[in-house]
Amino acid sequence: MKVLWIDLDRNSWETRIIDAPGPVSLGVRIHRELKTWGMDPLDPRVPLIIGMGPFVGGKMPGFHRLIITFKSPMTRTLHVSALGGAAYKFMGSGVDAIVLVGKASSPVVVFVSSDGVEIRNVNPVFRYGNYKGAYAFTKYLLDTYRDFFVKYNARAIVVGPAALSTYNGALVSIDVNPARGEFRPGAEDFAARGGPGTAMARGHNVVGVVAGGSYGARYAKVTDLGLINRITMDAFKKPFMQVMGEKTIKYRFDPSVGAGGTFGVNYPHYRELLPLFGYKSIYLPREERIRHVEAILRLFWKPFVDEVFVKSKSWYNCGDFGCSVVCKKVWRGKKVDYEPFHAMGPFIGNYIFEEAVPLVDLIDQYGLDAIEMGHVVAWIFDAVDNGLLQPGEVGLSDSPIFDPRRFNPEVDSRKNARLARELIEGFVEGSTEVLKLIAENGIRVAARKLDEVFHDRVLKVGKSFRDLVVYAAYGADGYMTPNLYWAPGMVAPMYVLGRYWTNYTPTFMGPEDFAKSSLDRAIAEALIDDAGLCRFHRGWAEPILDKLYAEITGMQPNRDLYREFAEYSIKANAQPVPWEGERARDLVSTMAREVSSREWTFEDYEQYIEWWRRFKATLDAGLGITQ
């Protein structure tokens, strides 16, 4: 891989050739060689790697994601985050990856083109014209450096205000039409899980990267549709375009549900298995959950479907030009995906779609991870509802309604949405001591400190702060909140969570079988990211990935990649540790009851620990790890 190595301490750069089949393998190799496992995630010596896979620029859509590999301020070990479509323009720079090390003395934006590199001192601008936050900064860069964007058909990755003040900053990339100076509808995406924006801004003082140029495909054979058709005919007995269309139907349009995209399909598909009210719904009987989902389908799902699939049909792709999946469903100018909207919708006690739109927009402007903020808001709402916190201690003007049994969707949704806005703004601004504590430390460390500060309340209520939130724990201080599914695999002792590197189906099985299925999925998902592939295309790409590597690049995918993550985490003292809170454990046990498991009743704490330990032991054995 052709790697642009940028040293911010010295304000210098050089090009290196490093052997790796993809950006994630590259990132792990660099971190291993620099021995970063003993360093703080925000230490400037800890590199952040932005890279793309080898299949860019050809006839196969989906291979144009930018992959960020970094040491997460949340998990305290290596993490991967990705954003869609941006590699389509970044590949024009002629480099396969950008490595940031060191720290600039003042905020900088890195400009990379086919003609070279410039590091410019640029203070982030978070109010500009009618725009705010990361959108304002992107528009400011587009207007100020219009010549660069036009000449190199460039795209930017920027941070928002959250990256400067919290652990939870995302990287934001909005595709633009340089000649018109406009944003492309729907072509916005976020590398958010794990805090890569925080790592880039606070670790390196880099607030943006802008790249483009005249280079194209890395390998000539990616443009050979005849070769690609031959590979898919061998595997599926069908030509490429037909296979891709069939395997991505959920994300484009599924006629069986009359909708498409993750938001359009997930609600009618998962129904009563949707996690609501910070996972409090897992304790409700099935008939009560059905009553809730009927309200959600009526108030939350149907307004979206009526607008996007009946009236406007506003479907776009992420900037991966030529991708016919058009998974970006846009409601009156706002891109809608399941997890950000669920995070600011039913997960925090808001069943009205129109109330979620400005909340997701606020999160996107701040440059926050929406999934994490859903957990933060739900956790604080629950703490107030249980009497562990007073509204004023977290900057709220009133108490939320956070008991699903006494929730009136039409009335209480609006109240909860209003209070969520107050909470999100206070979180980024550090408006109270409690919110500042959470924003600086993350949920796990903050829960531990809040248990100490409010010890008397904890004793009175009979629950600790960590009992009201779901997370998987790593080492002494690291953690990851799950993606918004009622799925034990999302909190199982896997080395990388917060993505889909696990068995994430809403099911339950014994720990050995669950661990084996989760490891198989983790290995496959790691390879998807290493190839720079959008996982919406995994249905056609996974079965032929080895063949694509061999035929097009002459390489083989790195099937040891997940084991390399595990080995790094062990060295970093950030491997999985048992669940610390009641609700995290109950996410597992309630699903066991949902599928009527007879062997695993989880009647005492020791049975939870036994399942966890047997899962972890099976996982490690499958990886060849002895501890």
Please check whether residue 44 is in contact with residue 150, taking contact to mean a CB–CB distance below 8 angstroms.
no
C-beta of residue 165 within 8 angstroms of C-beta of residue 367? no
Residue 117's closest CA among 98, 144, 140? 98
Q: How high is the pLDDT of residue 186?
A: 82
pLDDT at 368: 98
In sequence order, what are the residues at sequence separation of 6 or more whose Cβ sits closer than 8 angstroms to the Cβ of residue 619? 493, 494, 515, 518, 519
Question: What pLDDT sits at residue 313?
Answer: 84
Residue 405 has a pLDDT of 96
Topology (CATH level 3) of domain 258-471: 1.10.569
pLDDT of residue 27: 98
Whole-model pTM over 0.85: yes
E strand intervals along 333-431: 334-336
The pLDDT value given to residue 585: 98
As given in the structure block, the two tokens for residue 65 are: 């994601």
Residue pair 172/190 in contact by the 8 Å Cβ criterion: yes
CA distance 78 to 199: 12
Answer whether CATH 3.40.50.300 is correct for domain 2-216.
no
Query: Comparing C-alpha atoms, which of 36, 23, 121, 101 is closest to residue 71?
Result: 36
**Separation CA 224–CA 139 (nearest Å):** 37
Domain extents in the chain: 2-216, 258-471, 511-623
The whole-number pLDDT of residue 185 equals 84
317-352: b or e for each residue (b if 16 or more CB lie within 10 Å)? bbbbeebebbbbbbbeebbbbbbbbbbbbbbbbbbb
- How far apart, in whole angstroms, are the C-alpha atoms of residue 136 and residue 3? 30
Mean pLDDT by 10 residues, the chain (627 residues): 98 98 98 98 98 97 96 98 95 98 98 98 97 98 98 98 98 96 91 98 98 96 97 97 95 90 95 97 98 98 94 89 88 94 98 98 98 98 98 98 97 98 98 98 98 98 97 98 98 97 96 98 98 96 97 97 98 98 97 95 96 98 94
